[in-house]
Structure 1
């Protein structure tokens, strides 16, 4: 799969399908293009092209030696879309990727057909700051296994832990084997990139058909934070996925991607 130099950094992407319209999936802070692999078929079999992107400091994109602000990802995305000849896309972001998507919609809304946000906050609440600080301290241990142990209980719901505990323990072991000091350094740059992120008061300027997906058991982005976005963006639609945590795209794959496809179909019919 290709990597292209954007703003001096090699950005890795994967483009699947042959449809006329393109859906773009933006990662959460700990994710990569590989995190979405189970969702590819949902879109390609329904006639869409699917673009997955690793932000700088993520996955197979280049690591950076200098600090940057979260808005830099929006500039990278814009130039990547131009490079790929994508004048307008359906932009889907989860968590950190949803924050990037919100910033992109504020600056480059004319490049979007729709905006879809999952498990996303428009501000860093004190609770979210505390969670982020805890994850940063875990990352500084430079141990993939310890990082998983300390971070993942915030990500997945209690129901998922009960049903998939052995799978989670296997993932914990795998993280201990594959997460390197370079990965942790990159994670810490990503984590510090959104600083005092708070764009809630600006959301009324977004004029793109918007769909929000909350999760009933999300400890990182409580439903009330998603509802604040819903109320701020005129005409937006909102649903809650029951019995799912912050990783709703993984815990409830069928419900998550089917909801997005339903919204895309609705947006075409309007």
Structure 2
């Protein structure tokens, strides 16, 4: 699959489907394009092109040995859109990807048909900073299995642990083989890119049709923080996925996709309204 050099770094992407409208998926900090492989058929079957992107230092994109700010991803994505000839797209960002999506909407809102924000936040609370520091310490061990054991209980809900424990243990073994020193070094650069991220007082400037998705068992980006985004973005819609944690896209995959597809269908219906 293609990799495009943007701003001096090779950015990996995958574009599937033949629909007229494109939805872009932006990853959480520990994710990659591969994380959405099981989602592709859902969106392409419903008539959308699905664009998946690995941020620099993520997945199959190039590693970036110099430090950078989270805003760098905004420029990388804009460059990718220009290369692909994408004038306007639907953008979905989850967690870290949601933070990037918010920054993109603030700077390049005219490039968006709609904005979908899942399990994300407009600021780094002290609690979220503490979680990030704990993950950083786990990453510095350089041990995939240990990292999984220390990080995942924050990401998946207690209910999911009770019902999918065997699956989680298999993932733990997979992580022990997948996560290399290069992966951990890249993760730590991504983690440090947040800086003093706090754009809560700027969200009123976003005029793009927006769907905000939260989960009632998410302790990383709790509902009260997700709701602040909904309250700040005028006319945004707000959906809560019950019995799900930070990884709501996996824990409640069908509901997650249904919420997004329903929102996209609503936007399409508004476009087709004829004013007499």
Q: Give the TM-score band, short-chain normalised.
A: over 0.9
Summarize the alignment of residues 162-177 of structure 1 with structure 2, pairs less than 5 Å apart. 162-177=162-177
Q: How does 1:1-270 map to 2 (within 5 A)?
A: 1-270=1-270
Measure how far apart 1:174 and its partner are.
1.1
Question: Residue 99 of structure 2 aligns to a residue in which SS?
Answer: helix
Q: Runs ≥4 in structure 1, deviation > 4 angstroms? A: none
For residues 252 and 219 of structure 2, the distance between their equivalents in structure 1, rounded to whole angstroms, comes to 16
Alpha-carbon deviation of 1:269?
1.4
- TM-score, normalised with respect to structure 1: 0.99
Report the Cα offset of residue 165 of structure 1. Answer: 0.6
Q: Give the secondary structure class of the aligned counterpart of 1:92.
A: strand
Report the alpha carbon displacement of residue 11 of structure 1 after superposing the two structures with TM. Answer: 0.4
> How many residue pairs are counted as aligned between the two chains?
270
Deviation at 1:62, TM superposition (A): 0.3
Instruction: Give the superposition deviation at 1:41.
Output: 1.1
1:134-182 deviation line (CA, Å, top 9, x unaligned): 0000000000000000000000011111111111111111111110000
Q: Classify the secondary structure of the residue corresponding to 1:66.
A: coil
Distance (Å, rounded) in 1 between the aligned partners of 2:139 and 2:130: 14
User: Following the alignment from structure 1 to structure 2, what is the Cα–Cα distance between the partners of residues 174 and 43?
Assistant: 27
Question: Aligned partners of 2:150 and 2:13: how far apart in 1?
Answer: 29
CA distance in 2, matches of 1:33, 1:156: 20
- Gapped runs of 5+ residues in structure 1? none
- Give the whole-Å Cα distance in 2 for the aligned partners of 1:22 and 1:199: 26
Post-superposition offset of 1:268? 1.3
